[in-house]
Amino acid sequence: MALYAISDLHLAMSIDKPMDVFGNRWADYMGRLEKNWRSMITSGDHVIVPGDISWATYLEQAYEDFRFIHELPGRKIISKGNHDYWWTTKSKLDKFLDENGFDSISFMHNNSYCAGEDVICGTRGWVMPGEVGFGAEDEKIYKRELQRLELSLKNAAAAAPVGLPGPVAEPCSTAIAPRRVIVALHYPPYNSKGEFSGFMDIMKKYDVKLCIYGHLHGDACADAIDGNHEGIDFKLVSADHLGFAPVRLSSSGT
């Protein structure tokens, strides 16, 4: 069993949203994603998908995109991105999965999950203080996202995260240590000047070892923070940055 990650799938099975307008790197991206995924991921693996899953506006409209994800190998842990307009309450999301038999997918929202030796937490994130145009509404959302991350980490610290359902499920009944704590964000936890935010303070407080994030595309990836910073490893996992192939984070439970 291994742990992988990839964000910003931007699936459009039922929506006319050609991504190749953003450059040749997006040509046949859904076909390339499926081919790479199936060549790398096994049924016992876990894949974290932190945001920008589908271009659908409504959850029902995203059915074909979720069917596509469900039929790919492995267990998927999905969190919210800024373009996931279909996102609704956790209870409605879980009902959607249950009614459609998408039992290889789990949503992360104020909760956490265990995958072998790893505990996975996270939230969407938001535009960071210090960005041009950062205003009062941004400040409000930013602070709310800080609270959501801490809720997720507190859930893990209280030994409350659940093992994923299905044949590879593992109950998470022990405290967070000695498990590795991973935070999955959609937005980077720093601004365009490379200045870290309150997310860093929270991650250090809970001894997070790895932070993965997406949202950045194209030329913006060149300035991404990748590597160790103040004891935390950071990794950009946007799909186009990874060549539409999930990146292996480590073995999980083996």
CA distance 204 to 14: 41
pLDDT for position 253: 47
In words, the CATH class of domain 2-251 is alpha beta
Give tens-digit pLDDT for 230-254. Answer: 999 999 999 999 999 999 997 544 4
Given a contact cutoff of 8 angstroms between Cβ atoms, the answer to whether 164 and 106 are in contact is yes
pLDDT bucket at 144, cuts 50 / 70 / 90: very high
pLDDT for position 252: 47
Bigger pLDDT: 254 or 195? Answer: 195
Return the axis-axis angle of helices 90-100 and 63-71, rounded to nearest 10°: 70
Which secondary-structure segment (H or E) carries 75?
strand 75-79
Rg from Cα positions in the chain: 17
Domain regions of the chain by residue span: 2-251
Q: What is the mean pLDDT of residues 171-189?
A: 76
Return the axis-axis angle of helices 198-205 and 136-157, rounded to nearest 10°: 10
* Sheet architecture: strand order including 162-163: 162-163, 113-115, 118-123, 180-185, 210-213, 232-236, 227-229
